[in-house]
Chains A and B, each alone.
Chain A
């Protein structure tokens, strides 16, 4: 019997040009609760995904219980006693909850090809009860359920294989306090049984509290491992971010600075199932931050302001131009820009050229008499932007899909800066980009602020909003629950307290 349940040596993983895991050495002891922490894009989820059999590694060795291990798929990983609860939702919406628990393994309940649904439901219920979790309605389709119930179903699914090693990828962030407690309890039980858990969470305090060991990842590489008892949140934060950019990463000032003129006035905005009577104003040169849990409605605010969803009540008034924003086209024609969260699917034309992607929002400004778009003008705009943003590419005719995430984001963000904007809506502008580009994007935001552009900053990363915003709106269940000004009570603890 080996002492380590999992041992990884020299593991590498690439996604196109991105080196997601660099020479990772990683060990989990039996009966150990191991925390994995790092910024977005540091390769945590990639590492777990390889352990759980979702991706194959490019090189390196993995051992489970001292035996070489190379899972072909998640079911194969389950057979080795490893299961995972994923960060993004992994339930099939139009299947009942009970079936979701045994997804891919329904064969054990079938005879002559007919699945015994009642038996499966009973078994599913037994799983929840075994680990002392609340039983959700197992007959109900999962797509009608709240995000939290769906997470619990995923958890039950992971537990149903009776794992020796459980992988939890940002599970707590979508759970309410009472379910969190139950999860902590469950993790402790695992430890007592001599089993192991790997936990990913953004909440550093939580991590220090529940784990035995914490490993920090940065840019795909392991920075180091520390004993949770002997470390402090500050030490971990320093390891995560690294020394070189801690200085002017975010804004240095701690007072709100913005003009008097109101640019945008949103009142009583209501979108069914997304927003409930949301009201706020944004001023000239102000960065207005939005934060909240996954289903709090922060992303819906961006879509609704840009006119992408149909509100049943309330209005979005762009005071600067005296128009009501009712459709994306109205917004585009009135100096409003929107950087959506899902870069590849919502923002960019991934197979088109860099030039076409840069020019798309500016075509109205570029057109001459009788609508003539002079090719030279388009070329110049794209070439100038490539130069000023230093986008790494072979030329403006290159297609987007060849670029790295950070450079794609430069195009996605930068193309709005070619316009004379009044209002810029940013939804997770630094999602999945490396630290260097991140710092650059913050500097662009500061430049936009100095020019008097009003910015709405929506982000899942609390530190980002705290670091950049003049005012901060905390949302919960589609409502704004609190507004905090910079310098007032601008700490993670306060905001998290309101968020939950």
Chain B
């Protein structure tokens, strides 16, 4: 049986990027990067990005994008915490955050799949609109703190355990069930998926629902980390998530390039950059942001270059337009 597995260059890029970044900052910070404290910080700082990105992964695999996750985290967090505060039942914050996140996700999914609104435009509209509503709510109810009965979630052990469980579940669903496979198929070619019998619109709603649900869970992590809601909750998180996914080597078109490990690697890589820059004393300067941006550009460029052979058409093949005309007949 011919089953030689060729390792593609494009698959190595995210690994290489992570290793290079890690080694670079270890050297520049004179070894402080590899201390137990630093490693723990790295993981903790990545958690929110990874959890949220886990949901967005399903959407990106289908060739769409969800830019509303940042504001979703804020909305779910604010409402979930408020319900817990008003009712006085502390644990209610967790299911409430998840429920609000899920509802926003379902709305996104419904609009994208049934009303055929492009996901990019839709989620930007959501991002702007919902942010306004969240700000309005927050000016009325103000900042709220994690209820006393729920203080245990602010401990890092609890958060790390919860994170590992969530990551394992998502990894399983994405890599080893039909949900992930069908999402990849939709990203590869939506027409094909529909013609085979993949329930395309149901899968789209599901992907956005998962994205919303995990943003809701992200909201719990967010308040647990800070100890309560803040006015800037989830701000720019959607950009961080998108950056992590594409940094990890997932193509904008999704499909089989979307893999769970890439989300982990991408998220860790960008945390290494942010944390590494702060270690060497560049955290406050504007330089750190421009360095982040520059590095993202470089990685994306390499990813696209190494994928070109796979994505484009080679010279001796007719171009797609000509191919449609069926030249061999």
Contacts and interface: CB of A to CB of B under 8 A. Distances in A.
Nearest to A13: B327
Interface in B1-49: 1-6
Given A45-B327, A348-B192, A432-B326, A395 B3 contact: yes
B36 to A, nearest CB: 35
Given A349-B188, A360-B185, A372-B176, A432 B199 contact: no
B74 to A, nearest CB: 33
A213 B197 CA distance: 48
Given A54-B322, A394-B2, A346 B192 contact: yes
A329 B255 contact: no
B198 A329 contact: yes
B178 A373 contact: yes
Contacts of A15: 316-318, 327-328
A88 interface: yes
A49 B195 CA distance: 31
A331 interface: yes
A443 interface: no
A40 B5 CA distance: 35
A375 B181 CA distance: 12
B289 to A, nearest CB: 34
Could you tell me the dominant secondary structure of chain A's interface residues?
mixed
Interface stretch (A101-109, A144-152, A254-262, A337-345): A337-345
11 contacts: A15-B327, A40-B329, A45-B327, A55-B318, A88-B326, A306-B195, A328-B194, A351-B311, A352-B188, A356-B188, A360-B196
A374 B178 CA distance: 11
A49 B255 contact: no
Contacts of B313: 401
Contact of B177 (A359, A372, A393): A372
A370 B323 CA distance: 42
Interface of B: 1-6, 172, 176-179, 181-182, 184-185, 188-189, 191-199, 255-256, 310-311, 313-314, 316-318, 322-329
Nearest to B251: A351
Contacts of A375: 176
A363 B326 contact: no
Contacts of A405: 328
Contact of B5 (A344, A348, A395): A395
A359 B2 CA distance: 18
Contacts of B317: 15-16
B310 to A, nearest CB: 6
A344 B195 contact: no
A16 B325 CA distance: 16
A349 B256 CA distance: 10
B42 to A, nearest CB: 30
A328 B191 CA distance: 12
Nearest to B326: A432
Contacts of A387: 1
Nearest to A350: B189
A43 interface: yes
Given A20-B327, A372-B176, A55 B322 contact: yes
B310 A351 contact: yes
A20 B189 CA distance: 27
A156 to B, nearest CB: 21
A308 interface: yes
Given A46-B327, A387-B1, A395-B3, A373 B177 contact: yes
A308 B195 contact: yes
Interface in A311-365: 327-329, 331-333, 338, 340, 344-353, 356, 359-361, 363-364
Range, interface on chain A: 35 or more
Contacts, number: 149
Contacts of A41: 328-329
Contacts of B197: 306, 327-329, 331-333, 338, 361
B196 A344 contact: no
B195 A347 contact: yes
B205 to A, nearest CB: 14
A130 interface: no
B328 A349 contact: no
B184 A352 contact: yes
Contact of A340 (B195, B198, B327): B195
A294 interface: no
* Best-surrounded residue of A86, A332, A387 (most CB of chain B within 10 A): A332
B181 A360 contact: yes
A396 interface: yes
A482 interface: no
Interface string A77-91: 000000000111000
Nearest to A346: B195
A173 interface: no
A43 B328 contact: yes
Given A395-B3, A395-B4, A351 B188 contact: yes
A356 B184 contact: yes
Contacts of A348: 189, 192
A27 interface: no
A451 interface: no
Q: Give 6 closest A-B pairs by Cβ, nearest first.
A: A332-B197, A349-B188, A328-B197, A371-B177, A16-B317, A329-B199
A397 B256 CA distance: 12
A290 B192 CA distance: 23
A4 interface: no
A383 interface: yes
A379 B195 CA distance: 23
Contacts of A346: 191-192, 195
